[in-house]
A and B are shown apart, each in its own frame.
Chain A
Amino acid sequence: MLGQGGSVTSIRDFDRDEIVNVLAVAGKMEAGDHYGLLQGKVLAIMFLEPSTRTRLSFASAMMKLGGQVLDFGDVEHSSFKKGESLSDAIRIVAGYCDVIALRHPWEGAARLAAQIAGRPVINAGDGANQHPTQTFLDLYTIQKVCGRIDGLTVGFVGDLKYGRTVHSLATALSRFDCRQVFVSPPSLSVPQGLLKELEEAGVEHEQSEDLRGLLSSLDILYCTRIQQERFADSMEYERVKGAYRIGPRLLAECGVKDGLRIMHPLPRLDELSPALDETPFAVYFEQARNGVPVRQAILAMVLGKV
């Protein structure tokens, strides 16, 4: 179980019970005021890539628990500009704080940092690899809006090839009894390695290009951004983008369940119509808010205060 001194580098390190435990602690964080729990503790925010939501929600989570936040600043004004290695920078920063939240473009950076910091390290995104606190807040959101995780059909749509949030969430959901549906153009389909992993875990899953044909079976629709830079041909980009644009009309035409809930890690482009925002289907802003109690839980757990 995640506890004092533990690091959070990959969702792969968590089995079902451990995930359920983190979600339960997040629920307690949201339900009450825990100001003062992390008084005297310092979180170092060490982000070497741009971030808005993750950075702010880590800071908010720490402040809500009475802890202090030390921000490494952006890479342009840091020791990395002088050529300092990641290992050296981690050792230095570890001396100034009790816990580190690290975002770094190199994949595996958080795992390395956790080995050398002598402090808990929380991975806030390592390149295309992992972003475990995002996965925890996604799971927390699903549990909150559906009342359960088991027994659901979760559909993923968009860029399933490069989207790390999709890969991590699919891995995490494989610990639960969920059916998983992957909808994307062939050029952005979910990696074979992940499909194999789901097969080995006995997960019921399906792959398709046709969103319309699948929408009515879904309890959760998890959308991701399709980025233009993934396409060599801009016509192809426009075609694909149009095929997966989701709005109230499409949902009505496809006869979706009343209980369907739509998630998105944000920021969105035009894959989700703003006309959805005020409907009960949209939970993506709530999802972003859930980053705070989830990160409160993780910070409190690794600092041994829960």
Chain B
Amino acid sequence: MGGEPPSEELSVAAIRNGTVIDHIQNEATFKVAEILRLDGAGEIVLVAMNLPSQRVGKKGIVKIEGRELTAQEADKIALIAPEATLNIIKNFRVVEKRRVELPTKVEGIVRCFNPSCVTNQQSVNTCFEVLSTSPPTLRCVYCERVMSGGDIILK
């Protein structure tokens, strides 16, 4: 056998087929697992935190066996962990690697933080214009309020 595998691989077992969400800002790791509703899923899920990262300091990783993310799930991750990368794994190999990227509009996944917004008063699909991706800053197309950081509440 060759030399020691990288420490990260020691900490987090590989998956055969599925998705690895890497470079999650450490503190957002459990939030990523939460929004993907992984606790109730049948798939094997590996979650690691406090891994060293040159790009984000300490990082988290979430590995999900047998699942690819929907576009909406990727948008949600971009909102809470804009530096994250998505790795699609097939037969233990990375076949696709990309940064999460917010589209110019975010629809249906965020709740407006303004209680007087029409979207909080009756059933309306929310829609936000993305003003900045990192840190994510959104403007509600209905009430026009601008929100970022903790004001961004995922549905």
Contacts and interface: CB of A to CB of B under 8 A. Distances in A.
A105 interface: yes
Interface stretch (A26-34, A107-115, A144-152): A107-115
B128 to A, nearest CB: 12
Given A107-B114, A108-B143, 15 more contacts: A10-B144, A86-B118, A86-B121, A86-B122, A104-B118, A106-B121, A107-B116, A107-B117, A108-B140, A108-B142, A111-B141, A111-B142, A112-B118, A112-B124, A193-B146
Contacts of B145: 107
Contact of B117 (A10, A12, A87, A106): A106
A85 B114 CA distance: 19
B133 interface: no
Contacts of B124: 112
Interface stretch (A36-44, A124-132, A222-230, A275-283): A124-132
A128 B142 contact: no
Contacts of A130: 144
B17 interface: no
Contacts of A104: 118
Contacts of A126: 118, 143
Contact of B118 (A12, A109, A193): A109
A86 to B, nearest CB: 6
B46 to A, nearest CB: 40
Mostly helix, strand, loop or mixed at chain B's interface?
Answer: loop
B116 A105 contact: yes
Interface in A119-162: 126-130
A108 B146 CA distance: 13
A107 B144 contact: yes
B144 A129 contact: yes
- Interface-centre pick from A106, A108, A109, A126 (highest chain B CB count, 10 A): A108
A290 to B, nearest CB: 25
The 4 closest A-B CB pairs, nearest first, are A108-B142, A107-B143, A108-B118, A108-B143
A108 B122 contact: no
B32 to A, nearest CB: 28
Interface of B: 114, 116-119, 121-122, 124, 140-146
Contacts of B119: 108
A166 to B, nearest CB: 14
Contacts of B141: 108, 111
A104 B117 CA distance: 11
A105 B120 CA distance: 13
Contacts of A109: 118
Nearest to B145: A107
B110 to A, nearest CB: 14
Nearest to B126: A108
A12 B114 CA distance: 19
B142 A107 contact: yes
A112 B142 contact: yes
A87 B116 CA distance: 16
- Interface-centre pick from B118, B119, B122, B142 (highest chain A CB count, 10 A): B118
Contacts of B142: 107-108, 111-112
17 contacts: A12-B144, A86-B121, A106-B116, A106-B118, A106-B121, A107-B145, A108-B140, A108-B141, A108-B143, A108-B144, A111-B141, A111-B142, A126-B143, A129-B143, A129-B144, A130-B144, A193-B146
A48 to B, nearest CB: 12
Contacts of B118: 86, 104, 106-109, 111-112, 126
Contacts of A112: 118, 124, 142
Nearest to B112: A108
Given A108-B140, A108-B143, A111-B142, A128 B122 contact: no
Nearest to A194: B146
